[in-house]
Structure 1
Amino acid sequence: MKSFKATFVVVLLVFGSATMASQTLAHSYVDTSTPEDGETVEETVDTITMHFDAGIEPATTAVVTDVDGNEYTIGSEEFEGDDFIVHLDEPLPSGDYTVAWQALGADGHGTEGEFNFTVDAQDEEEIVEEEEPEVIEEEEEDLEVEESAETDVDDEETDQNSGLVIAIVVAVLVVGFAVFFMSRRNKS
């Protein structure tokens, strides 16, 4: 009987450790970005969005530089779910750029990386407005609806994952306490 109890406790500890380890291995890295890594953008860029594959904390930062090492000033930063949005003070002129980022994941671990893109924008004098403002407004409304739906799905996935982890931890604790109290009762 003692051998069964010892084996049972070891199995519980291994299972609990494996469950917790999967959570700590979920470091945050850039999954996608706008502009994308390696992309050539044919319009001016004044906003850069990085979507992380796991939760991030507000300590996340980014630096935008050109090939000569000139750093471009970031005016403001936003955090929306797993997205880190950087608004530049001025649009980037045509050229090659590197975004170096450092993220503090929701798991408390730091990660870093970089991605590159090229801006090949026409001068303002060459840009010709071909669309009417009404069309642009409709597209913006569609984008807002799509972004809202994506955010809702991301929130649901995060809630489901958190709930599963909590349920597993509670189950392990309940079984552990049950074994402990049963073994104490048998000794009496």
Structure 2
Amino acid sequence: MTRRILALLAVVVALLVVGAAPALADFHLVNSVPAAGSTVLETPGEVKIIFDQPVNDVASSVQVTSSGSVYNDGVVTVEGGNTLVQPVRRLSSGNYSVSWTAASGPGAPSTSGKFGFTVSAPADRSAGTGQWIVVGVLAVIVAALGSTLIRRRLDRRNAATPRK
């Protein structure tokens, strides 16, 4: 009988150890959007960090920085159970750093990390539009003045020429 109890206790302990292992394991970053080390052409509205385990927004944090400024715009939320989503303000061209801490809940073991990405936004084309409007207006003015001068010269020539 004691052998059965010992065997049963061994099975229970083994199940507890195996069942608790995932809860004690470290979080691992699986992916991010923007991807770590990537260059994006448009400013992202948010940064997403995807983990291999469920995360808790209350026990987790994300901070997006560049040159000492923080670009977070609101609080971090969880999407799909394992993705932290941090809204960000409009990012201009430059290098950005993302620091994160992730945990499954308050008081649970956490892990943290850091990665970077670059925003390389194309040149703002709206500034050039204003220049072309000015050039167009000047072209119309020059054409109007030119045609007025030509018309006056022709009128003088016609007035000086006797009619037959």
Q: Taking structure 2 as the reference length, what is the TM-score of the superposition?
A: 0.64
Aligned to 1:104: 103
CA RMSD of aligned residues (A): 2.2
Residue 23 in structure 1 maps to residue 22 in structure 2:
yes
**1:99: how far off?**
0.3
SS for the counterpart of 2:76 is strand
Spell out, residue by residue over 1:70-126, the C-alpha distance to the aligned partner (whole angstroms, 9 max, x if none): 2223234332121111111x2111111110011122592221111111111113327
CA distance in 1, matches of 2:125, 2:63: 29
Structure 2 residue runs of 5 or longer lacking an equivalent are 127-164
CA distance in 1, matches of 2:69, 2:114: 16
CA distance in 2, matches of 1:76, 1:7: 51
Structural mapping, 1:90-169, within 5 Å: 90-106=89-105, 108-125=108-125
**1:61: how far off?**
1.1
CA distance in 2, matches of 1:6, 1:73: 56
Larger Rg: 2
Amino acid at match of 1:77: V
User: 107-116 or 95-104: which moved more?
Assistant: 107-116
**1:47: how far off?**
1.3
- Contact 1:55–1:106, Cα closer than 8 Å, also in 2: no
CA distance in 2, matches of 1:121, 1:28: 33
Larger helix proportion, structure 1 or 2?
Answer: 1
- Contact 1:54–1:106, Cα closer than 8 Å, also in 2: no
Q: How many equivalent pairs are there?
A: 123
Aligned to 1:87: 87
Aligned to 1:62: 62
Aligned to 1:40: 39
**1:44: how far off?**
1.7
Q: Describe the shift of the 1:73–1:9 C-alpha distance in structure 2 as closer, same or farther (beyond 3 A).
A: closer
Q: Taking structure 1 as the reference length, what is the TM-score of the superposition?
A: 0.57
Aligned to 2:141: none
Aligned to 1:141: none
Structure 1 residue runs of 5 or longer lacking an equivalent are 127-188
Q: Describe the shift of the 1:10–1:73 C-alpha distance in structure 2 as closer, same or farther (beyond 3 A).
A: closer
CA distance in 2, matches of 1:35, 1:10: 49
**1:57: how far off?**
0.8
